[in-house]
Every structure is written in C-alpha cells, then in structure tokens.
Amino acid sequence: MNIFIYHTPELTPTEKLPECAIVVDVLRATTTIAKILDSGGEAIQVFDDLDLLIETSKHWMPEKLLRAGERNGLKIPGFDLGNSPLDFTPERVKDKRLFMSTTNGTRALQRVQKSQTLITAAFVNLSTVVKYLLKNKPETIWVIGSGWEGSFSLEDTACAGAVAYGLVQQSNLSVNNLAGNDEVYSAIALYTQWQDNLVELLHHASHGKRLLGLAGNEDLRYCAQKNILDVLPMQKELGVLKSCD
C-alpha cells in the first residue's frame, strides 16, 4: 500500500486516479453520509450542481426521497434537510434516498468519482475505514480533504492523518513504507497531537468557528467522536454512495 494525502481536491493529480480514493469532510458531509447510512438510508446521491439535483430527484418516488444540503453552512431553501448529522435519524431517513449537495464535500467526491474504489471517511467511522484498507490492501490510496472553497482545513487533514496513523498502528508497515508524499507525515503529526482532544481541534478550525457562529456546537461535538459508527460508505454507481456490506 502507498498512501497519499491531499489537503483539497484541487491539489490531486489530474492525469491519473488511485485504486482507492477516500474523501474526508469532517464538518460535515462525510460525517453526515455515515450517519445517514447508519440510520438506514437507502443511498446518498451527490451533486455539485443544484439544478441537476432537483431535476434528477424529480424522477424518484416522492415518498422515497429527501433533498439535503447546505451552502455556507446553512440549509438550502426549499430542501428537506441541511447538513447536520444530528437531523438524519432513522425515523427521518430509513429506506429513503438522499439527494445531497454541500459546499465542499460533494465537490471533492465528484473529483475522484471515477476511481476504481471510492469511500468516505470521518472520525465517526474511522476504524471501519482502516479495517477495510487493511483487509483489501489497495496498491494506491488517496485521502482527499474537502477543505473550504479550495483552501486547507484543519479537521480534514487531521482525519486523513488518523487514517494513515491507523494503518501504521495496525500493520507491520512503517510510515516510510506507506507514505507517498510529505503530507502524510504532517497529517499524522497533526492528528497525534490532537487525537485526545478533537473537540478543541474543531473549535480552532476556521469552519468549526463558522459553525459555532451558526449555533453548531452540538454538531462539532458529534463530529469529533471517534469510531461510533460501524459503516463504510462506498460508491456503488457513479455519484451514488451505499453501505459496503
């Protein structure tokens, strides 16, 4: 296995794709995606373009769909749900297809959606992601932070570092064996510094501060939890994420 970490989708190579791409958007898309599937959602279909989302969802059974998404941290007007993982309860989403668009996470997913394997990671399902990698041993792994509108985000790089650190801790490989770029070393260093106080890390993050300004303190607390969901979101068809059995 050879792991590469990219702070934003814009920094990924354009001439190739990895065997396994892992998209991270801790605040909050990939945390919410994991929560949807854990709550029994049928699938999440992701869109960058809102008009395309609305047009596509019109062809789905009305009683089996929900439109979810945010722009700049706020629920999109006219949508059923925003992007708070706390809102995606089994009572609301069980057996539903979520048509979803977010400021950063869905853009990152679309950048690597033609990869051989595409999964999503957050702190909440960290151990499930690491177990999958250790079992399947993809030759090339990209962990892509969603960032914020093209810029670095503290929480996504820390989570990417947690994935890499988990591989080192649970295999007989060293960082030197695994690391494909310098970002792996820096991401592991960031994660290990904050691994016991992720809530504080999210409070320092610029997007964390943005969400706190929108009364998102409970979201930050939820997103900072590790290994609370045993679910692996995986792309099953282009743009459609389901739980990997």
According to DSSP, the residues that pair with 100 across neighbouring strands are: 46, 68
- Residue range 123-137: mean pLDDT, rounded: 98
pLDDT tens-digit profile of 12-48?
999 999 999 999 999 999 999 999 999 999 999 999 8
Query: Is the bond preceding 28 in cis, omega lying within 30 degrees of 0?
Result: yes
Q: How many angstroms separate the CA atoms of 110 and 232, rounded? A: 18
According to DSSP, the β-strands at 74-75 and 65-71 are: antiparallel
Q: Model confidence at 150, in pLDDT bands (50, 70, 90)?
A: confident
CATH architecture of 2-234: Alpha-Beta Complex (3.90)
Q: How many angstroms separate the CA atoms of 32 and 121, rounded? A: 10
Given a cut of 80, whether residue 245 has pLDDT beyond it is no
Q: What is the DSSP letter of 96?
A: P
State the pLDDT at residue 73. 86
Q: What percentage of residues in the chain have a pLDDT greater than 70?
A: 100
Cβ atoms 163, 121 nearer than 8 A: yes
Dihedral over Cα of 180, 127, 204, 83: its sign = positive
Domain ranges of the chain: 2-234
Predicted model pTM = 0.96
Given a cut of 90, whether residue 129 has pLDDT beyond it is yes
- Residue range 156-179: mean pLDDT, rounded: 96
- Residue range 201-208: mean pLDDT, rounded: 95
What is the rounded average pLDDT for all residues in the chain?
A: 96
